[in-house]
Structure 1
Amino acid sequence: MAGKRNPSTFLIRQKSFLKLSILTYIEKKRYYAYELIEKFKEDYSEFGYKPVSTEIYKALNELVEQGILRRQKRKQSETDQYKEVVVYSFQDWEAAQSYKKQLKEVLINSEKMIKRALKINFK
């Protein structure tokens, strides 16, 4: 049966999770990639989740390609005019909010599935 393949509804894919978190982080501050990597470590390492930097870069690149984020070069510090970093900011705020809304529904469904699995398997 040919047709459009539905995305997996079994929990949330890592890349989607990374994109969601990146958008939330960037709502609060303009980050460059290394800072985002450190932010993930800070927020999720206690759960044993430490995404590799290449996955974070892939998620950032996809968000740029989708037109949701933009890259901007800036000096890393005022004292060193030759060191530049790439910071990320919103290019399409509405698209970012729409993406977050979709992922919220997936997270809520995932939470329900996990609760049910715990209830069924660990009475």
Structure 2
Amino acid sequence: MSEKLSNKFIRGELLNVNCPSRDVLKRITSRWSVLVLLALREETLRFSELRRKIGGVSERMLAQTLRYMEEDGFIERIAYQVVPPHVEYRLTPLGREVEGHVIGLADWLESNVHRIVKDNAEA
């Protein structure tokens, strides 16, 4: 019986301190990246729409998050040559793939947050 690929860490040695996938992991699992993935899962949005949809994110942090996500290939930035400037963001196929995993985590979190908050309050 062959061992699962993920069990062997062949994909990138994620536990190794020098693994380049750690940078991607750090960026894609940030609070703002997760929320961007969730916000873009059903529609293409402009920067201001994203900022309104994701409560609490600063302009600077959203711009930085979008830049990293575009560099990593999770989102596409579409700039229209019009005045005033019009820019939209949407998930790429890679972004849709990772969003499928993130939605499971988000669903679990929303279903269990009451238990976590309760346990923290009792501690």
Pair in the same fold by TM > 0.5: yes
Task: Give yes or no for contact 1:16–1:103 (8 Å, CA) kept in 2.
Answer: no
State the match for 1:52 in structure 2. 58
Task: Give yes or no for contact 2:38–2:103 (8 Å, CA) kept in 1.
Answer: no
Runs of 4+ in 1 over 3 A off after TM superposition: 102-114
Using the alignment, how far apart are the partners of 1:109 and 1:86 within structure 2?
A: 32
Aligned partner (choices 27, 32, 38) of residue 24 of structure 1: 38
For each residue in 1:32-88, what CA deviation from the matched residue of structure 2 results, as whole angstroms up to 9, or x when unmatched? 1111111123xxxxxxxx12111111111111000111111126xxxxx52112111
Does 1:36 find its partner at 2:50? yes
Output the TM-score relative to the length of structure 2. Answer: 0.58
Aligned partner (choices 61, 73, 97) of residue 67 of structure 1: 73
Instruction: Give how far 1:25 is off.
Output: 1.9
Question: What's the Cα RMSD here?
Answer: 3.5
Task: Give yes or no for contact 2:45–2:89 (8 Å, CA) kept in 1.
Answer: yes
State the match for 2:7 in structure 1. none
Aligned partner (choices 1, 8, 16) of residue 4 of structure 1: 16
For each residue in 1:11-48, what CA deviation from the matched residue of structure 2 results, as whole angstroms up to 9, or x when unmatched? xx9x622212212222222111111111123xxxxxxx
Using the alignment, how far apart are the partners of 1:122 and 1:67 within structure 2?
A: 42
Structure 1: give runs of 5+ residues left out of the alignment. 8-12, 42-49, 76-80
Instruction: Give how far 1:104 is off.
Output: 3.9
Q: Highest relative contact order (Cα 8 Å, sep 6+), 1 or 2?
A: 1
Structure 2: give runs of 5+ residues left out of the alignment. 1-14
Output the TM-score relative to the length of structure 1. Answer: 0.58
Q: Percent identity?
A: 12
Using the alignment, how far apart are the partners of 1:65 and 1:120 within structure 2?
A: 37
Instruction: Give how far 1:122 is off.
Output: 2.2
Using the alignment, how far apart are the partners of 1:86 and 1:52 within structure 2?
A: 18
Using the alignment, how far apart are the partners of 1:122 and 1:36 within structure 2?
A: 36
